[in-house]
Amino acid sequence: MFCFDWAAWKRLSATERAAFANEFSQTLARWELGSADGHPNQSALFSQIGHKGDLTLIHFRDSFEDLNRVELELAQCGIYPCLKLVNSYLSVVELGLYESSEKIYTQLAEKGLEPGTPEWNVGLKEATARTFAALSSRLYPTIPPAKYLCFYPMDRKRGEHVNWYAEPIADRRAMMNEHGLIGRRYADSVRQIITGSIGLDDWEWGVDLFADDPVIFKKLIYEMRFDKVSAVYATFGQFFLSVRVAAANAARWLDGTLATDEAST
Amino acid sequence: MFCFDWAAWKRLSATERAAFANEFSQTLARWELGSADGHPNQSALFSQIGHKGDLTLIHFRDSFEDLNRVELELAQCGIYPCLKLVNSYLSVVELGLYESSEKIYTQLAEKGLEPGTPEWNVGLKEATARTFAALSSRLYPTIPPAKYLCFYPMDRKRGEHVNWYAEPIADRRAMMNEHGLIGRRYADSVRQIITGSIGLDDWEWGVDLFADDPVIFKKLIYEMRFDKVSAVYATFGQFFLSVRVAAANAARWLDGTLATDEAST
Amino acid sequence: MFCFDWAAWKRLSATERAAFANEFSQTLARWELGSADGHPNQSALFSQIGHKGDLTLIHFRDSFEDLNRVELELAQCGIYPCLKLVNSYLSVVELGLYESSEKIYTQLAEKGLEPGTPEWNVGLKEATARTFAALSSRLYPTIPPAKYLCFYPMDRKRGEHVNWYAEPIADRRAMMNEHGLIGRRYADSVRQIITGSIGLDDWEWGVDLFADDPVIFKKLIYEMRFDKVSAVYATFGQFFLSVRVAAANAARWLDGTLATDEAST
Amino acid sequence: MFCFDWAAWKRLSATERAAFANEFSQTLARWELGSADGHPNQSALFSQIGHKGDLTLIHFRDSFEDLNRVELELAQCGIYPCLKLVNSYLSVVELGLYESSEKIYTQLAEKGLEPGTPEWNVGLKEATARTFAALSSRLYPTIPPAKYLCFYPMDRKRGEHVNWYAEPIADRRAMMNEHGLIGRRYADSVRQIITGSIGLDDWEWGVDLFADDPVIFKKLIYEMRFDKVSAVYATFGQFFLSVRVAAANAARWLDGTLATDEAST
Amino acid sequence: MFCFDWAAWKRLSATERAAFANEFSQTLARWELGSADGHPNQSALFSQIGHKGDLTLIHFRDSFEDLNRVELELAQCGIYPCLKLVNSYLSVVELGLYESSEKIYTQLAEKGLEPGTPEWNVGLKEATARTFAALSSRLYPTIPPAKYLCFYPMDRKRGEHVNWYAEPIADRRAMMNEHGLIGRRYADSVRQIITGSIGLDDWEWGVDLFADDPVIFKKLIYEMRFDKVSAVYATFGQFFLSVRVAAANAARWLDGTLATDEAST
């Protein structure tokens, strides 16, 4: 996330501004296209609302080296002295295994298999393999084309009396399952990408929500706040809301115009 | 909220200052007038007291895109290099449904209707429809013309022992009702607009109080501090106090004069 | 509270420094004199110790508009680019009503009156009227001429188990009474002005202590720390210590000399 | 940890940049070589990911004076005005004595010795001497050549109910032992250096993890989060992730290229 | 504590640097000499390790006015624009009366005197007088000449369940006594000066430790962390470590050389 130094930008000559805007747009366009080995739409630009930043860049990359290279490449652009880096979040896409293992157990039970029997074991093995194959494609998502982005980091509480990490796994799984049910009811209007950052950044998880109607973020998170895992065990960081700006519209943003039409088409 | 860089402002020539002040006043005046489809008075300027900022702008808009466009438009103004954006709050107007549902139940009871009977059901349906029609107009308020503004964000506590989100809805409704009674006693002297920001900004709610006598803010909030929902469950952010400056007086403010007469007439 | 930019000040020419020092001194002198309607000594300058600020200004005014006007007037002074506003506190003078009502009850009891009797009621009414008349003069104090100022903001604790706002008023009154007894023992050497800021600034109260011997601040506050209301229910903000600089000595301060002789005479 | 001022760097002439890059690379190369008395690889440069810094320097030195001398030497380099020091951590390498004393007791027990007997005492003395000789070499480690660095500071909790420092040593030893077992399972892929900083810096310990695959940091720390000493007693500071840059590649970094090949060979 | 702006310093001409270094050294040398009435070594300069500051100045003075005068005098020096004041701590030297009263009681008991007898009373009076005479000299210490300084501020905990200020004095005395015993065992290698700052600065106490071997700070504070008063009731601020620089070596520091030989001789 960057604050944009409009005063410095305006001090540049019109020629410099045009050249830097062009270079910035082309760099973004290349990043949007993605890599040669088939990962499209790997970076996206957003116009942030409020004082916590003006522009947000999301980068999906296959290695931390490549993320660092994106940073260094941007720093060589002519526009960079107008961009003040004020925030960032480093994490890896993570899949809720609580949920998928729950699903497998349910499906096996629906088939009438009993835990511990040879049939159950075979079924478990097959289902697990299928699930992992399906999940692994979700580990390398493209950036959803929705108009709005809501990002926030979060922790599980480790208090003196209430401590997620001291709860039995069965309780944690049940709570995560209830939590997941709410998310699934919103699946049509909100696309969520959960990333894990234990050992990588200051919070344990990052949540990216993508939607065309931003009020849906509020409804979803308000409703979740009453499920047990959020009510009792969640600790939230700052919330950041921004509007998608397609690479093709980046230059117009630098002229002071927010053009969002192209973003979700 | 912006800190105003008086030194940079004074370094400008008198001609530049006059031109920038004029541009700023006209922009504000246009925003005060509101939009073509009938929302008047959509933005307001305030002169903030203390070191947390010098100027506050409130914007009521129908979409987050439009709020972001206001930011970008202001950034293109000549005065912008003298404005340092130091704070902001993003939220949507919210109505206390605890309170209105309480009111409906009370009215039905006063009519002698018993819960669950067909008459009660019809009455509930009608009252709900009426209430929502009335409330929906309150969802798009104009900015009250009062002289003083008090703004603060707040959360409901989610502690290890005291946790609003783990309380039964009946208890929450009763507490909100007691809370609302205090607010209503002050309704003549304080206009309050509550906004929700779960998923949008760092606190759960924003409170905007408007009054001609600022000491009333202190009396109201002190009295509320002893009601149960505030005493036990409220967590407060920073408090910001400012004085209304009509667009017509913006240029005088930039000359160092606080002219407030016009604001509340 | 302001940090003073000595480097910027020294970059000015000697002529400019003399002119700006003169303008600043005269503005302060006028503010010290007070208003036409009889409030003397309404502003005072202090030289702050340590990195949290260099100069502190206290302003007593009858309205928040007037406080804001003081800010704007100072911002027009030539010295202003050397003053970096780093802190402030907005509050209104407040009288401890716990204490005065306690006093009335004691006096009535000493006269042999019994609560609820007509004589008691008459006595209560008269004493209350007398008290309010006396107190109202204390609502508009002048700034004490003492050499040192100690300022800190504070809250009453609203914890999960220890919560001032959930205590019965009789217990709060008894604790405030014990607290007040300590303050009264120091009345000869420390003048205290308590201000309330609920709804106005980030803490609930501001405490201004004035004394000629600053070690007395430490003794007083240490002793108070063991009374119940402080030990159990107080939460303290930052502490700020500064030395009075009379308007007549402001120019000498700007030359690097702390002259304090005149302050307390 | 330093933020790198790319704008200032680009404002330098190509000649200056080349000279300063050369001086910086040579200084780093000398520090990498280590001291005359046989401590190789005493400093290392890393390219940091995110807004918390751009470049990280680790220095292993035998005295705090020498660490301060490194700071002063760097401050004399031509590149220094482009380096903004934003973070640091001061600590001394520390060995987990809980673990080694546990090991000794286990080995003595395996030999059939009983605590308190003369044979046990002799065995304890010998084992302790051997252990300390082995450990002392670990007190002066070289910086591991791995590609990625994860650093974070941590405390043991001293809460009102959960307080590490009030637990019996036997319980603390058992918990540290469980904790150490997890670490040892990751020993092939993660090299960890624990440093103590009680009395030296703001947290009690600093943890440096070195690995070629950074996702292993996440796995290790996530797994540890459920062991008792971490789940209940750990408090974590910020997490910092960076990529090794060999001195030989420092000049390329200053040209905007992250070259990491040489680092781990 | 000051950050030193090396870039600004290097931008000065060699002549200016020499003049400013000379002025700074002579000012420090005068402050080291102390006052006319016999307080030697009243100020000392330290080179701080890490990003929290580059130079630390300690000033022992008999009044807060004099401390403020030191600040103002330094601000007039030519070097001042290169010094950015980032931290400070204001406090008065304080003696542990818990400890000395304990000592008196022990000595009286060792003489076979029983509490309450006339002999005990006489002995108590004499011992108290002797103790205060001895202590009062310790109230005006000189700055110890040791090579390293460790400074940190601290509070006694005032939690919801654990509250130092709500404990009986006998328990507090017993805990402070245990605490003091550890300190005394380190008396040969660490000189400690405890200062009180209730009402003066943001923490309740400041701790200054002076030693020639800085690892001893870590050992001492680690050992203390397990005594009850620290384990249960202490809250610590930031820790600052720095190396003494004699006034005679200040100019060499400004050339980038840490010369510490002279400091402890």
Domain boundaries, chain E: 2-91+244-264, 96-134
Which of B89, B152, B186, B233 is labelled catalytic? B152
Query: Residue D147: what pLDDT?
Result: 97
Describe the crossing of helices E118-138 and E97-110 by its angle, rounded to 10 degrees: 140
- Please give the model's pTM, rounded to 2 decimal places: 0.92
Q: How does the average pLDDT of chain C come out, rounded?
A: 91
Residue E250 pLDDT greater than 90, yes or no: yes
Query: Residue C114: what pLDDT?
Result: 86
pLDDT band at E35 (very low <50, low <70, confident <90, very high): low
DSSP-assigned letters across all residues of B3-60: EE-HHHHHHS-HHHHHHHHHHHHHHHHHHHH--TTS----EEEEEE-STT-SEEEEE-
More confident residue, E133 or B25: B25
Residue contact C49–E72, C-beta within 8 A: no
Residue D262 pLDDT greater than 50, yes or no: no
Helix, strand, coil % in chain C, rounded to nearest 5: 45, 20, 35
Q: How far apart are CA D25 and CA D17, in angstroms?
A: 12
pLDDT band at C40 (very low <50, low <70, confident <90, very high): low
How far is C-alpha D257 from the geometric centre of its chain's CA atoms?
26
Give bridge partners of residue C85 from the DSSP assignment. Answer: C2
Tokens of D184: 């040892």
- Percent of chain D whose pLDDT exceeds 90: 72
Kindly list the residues from chain D whose CB atom is less than 8 angstroms away from the CB atom of residue E253. Answer: 72
Helix (H) or strand (E) segment spanning residue B198: none
Q: Work out how many CB contacts closer than 8 A connect C with E.
A: 94
* Secondary structure (3-state) at B207: strand
CATH 3.40.50.150 correct for D2-91+244-264: no
Residue C212 pLDDT greater than 70, yes or no: yes
Q: What is the ipTM of this complex?
A: 0.89
E245 CB-side CA count, 13 A: 26
CA dihedral A208, A213, A215, A217 (to 10 degrees): -20
Residue contact B88–A256, C-beta within 8 A: no
Q: Give me the count of residues in chain A.
A: 265
Question: Residues of A near B (CB-CB distance < 8 A)?
Answer: 4, 6-7, 10, 47, 49-52, 147-148, 150, 152, 157, 159-162, 209, 214-215, 217-218, 220-222, 225-226, 228, 230-232, 234, 238-239, 241, 243, 253, 256-258, 260
Q: Are D43 and D27 in contact (CB under 8 A)?
A: no
Q: Exposure of E111 by Cβ count < 10 A (0-12 exposed, 13-18 middle, 19+ buried)?
A: exposed
Tokens of E83: 């010094």
pLDDT band at C265 (very low <50, low <70, confident <90, very high): very low
Which of A89, A98, A148, A152 is labelled catalytic? A152
Mean pLDDT within D42-55: 97
C-alpha dist (Å) from residue E86 to A138, C3, C55, D90, E53: 48, 11, 16, 19, 7
Phi, psi of B245, rounded to the nearest 5 degrees = -125, 115
Q: How many CB atoms lie within 10 A of CB C73?
A: 16
**Residue among E148, E225, E258 whose CB faces D69 most closely:** E258
Q: How many CB atoms lie within 10 A of CB B171?
A: 12
Q: Are E250 and E45 in contact (CB under 8 A)?
A: yes
Q: Exposure of E116 by Cβ count < 10 A (0-12 exposed, 13-18 middle, 19+ buried)?
A: exposed
User: Which residue in chain A is spatially nearest to B166 when comparing CA positions?
Assistant: A231
Query: Residue D39: what pLDDT?
Result: 67
Query: Residue D263: what pLDDT?
Result: 41
Q: Are A64 and D243 in contact (CB under 8 A)?
A: yes
Nearest partner of A20 among A84, A81, A77, A82, judged by Cα: A77
**Residue among D73, D76, D88 whose CB faces E50 most closely:** D88
Low-confidence ranges of chain A (pLDDT < 70): 35-41, 97-99, 261-265
**Residue among E159, E218, E238 whose CB faces D198 most closely:** E218
Q: How many CB atoms lie within 10 A of CB A129?
A: 10
Residue contact E231–D199, C-beta within 8 A: no
Mean pLDDT within C64-92: 97
The DSSP letter of residue C80 is: G
CA angle A200, A202, A205 (to 5 degrees): 75
Query: Residue E75: what pLDDT?
Result: 98
Residue of D194, D202, D233 for testing the chain E interface, max E β-carbons within 10 Å: D202
Kindly list the residues from chain D whose CB atom is less than 8 angstroms away from the CB atom of residue A72. Answer: 47, 253, 256-258
pLDDT band at D103 (very low <50, low <70, confident <90, very high): confident
Mean pLDDT within C220-246: 97
Q: How does the average pLDDT of chain B come out, rounded?
A: 91
Q: Are C6 and E81 in contact (CB under 8 A)?
A: yes
Residue contact A239–B163, C-beta within 8 A: no
Query: Residue E37: what pLDDT?
Result: 66
Query: Residue E41: what pLDDT?
Result: 66
Q: How far apart are CA B9 and CA A252, in angstroms?
A: 28
Query: Residue C171: what pLDDT?
Result: 95
Query: Residue C68: what pLDDT?
Result: 97
Q: How far apart are CA E206 and CA A102, in angstroms?
A: 55
Q: How far apart are CA A117 and CA C123, in angstroms?
A: 89
Partner chains of E (3+ C-beta pairs under 8 Å): C, D
- Percent of chain E whose pLDDT exceeds 90: 72
Which of C98, C152, C186, C233 is labelled catalytic? C152
pLDDT band at E30 (very low <50, low <70, confident <90, very high): very high
| pLDDT tens digits, E76-93 | 999 999 999 999 999 999
DSSP-assigned letters across all residues of A79-148: TGGGEEE------EE---HHHHHHHHHHHHHHTTPPTTSHHHHHHHHHHHHHHHHHHHHHTSPPPP--SE
E140 is a catalytic site residue = no
Nearest partner of A209 among A124, A121, A132, A147, judged by Cα: A147
**Residue among A68, A163, A196 whose CB faces D243 most closely:** A68
User: Which residue in chain E is spatially nearest to C230 when comparing CA positions?
Assistant: E165
Mean pLDDT within C230-245: 97
Q: Give me the count of residues in chain E.
A: 265
pLDDT band at C43 (very low <50, low <70, confident <90, very high): very high
Q: How far apart are CA D166 and CA D156, in angstroms?
A: 11
Tokens of C242: 């500064």
Residue E135 pLDDT greater than 80, yes or no: no
Query: Residue A263: what pLDDT?
Result: 41
Q: How far apart are CA B242 and CA B143, in angstroms?
A: 14
Residue E253 pLDDT greater than 60, yes or no: yes
Kindly list the residues from chain E whose CB atom is less than 8 angstroms away from the CB atom of residue D97. Answer: none
Low-confidence ranges of chain B (pLDDT < 70): 35-41, 97-99, 261-265
| pLDDT tens digits, E97-132 | 666 777 788 888 888 888 888 888 888 888 888 877
| pLDDT tens digits, A56-98 | 999 999 899 999 999 999 999 999 999 999 999 999 998 876 6
Query: Residue A56: what pLDDT?
Result: 98
Residue of D82, D198, D205, D235 for testing the chain E interface, max E β-carbons within 10 Å: D198
Which of E152, E165, E186, E233 is labelled catalytic? E152
Q: How far apart are CA D229 and CA D236, in angstroms?
A: 12
Q: How far apart are CA D78 and CA D15, in angstroms?
A: 12
Query: Residue E265: what pLDDT?
Result: 35
Phi, psi of D16, rounded to the nearest 5 degrees = -60, -45
Q: Distance from C206 to chain B by nearest Cα, in Å?
A: 14
Q: How does the average pLDDT of chain E come out, rounded?
A: 91
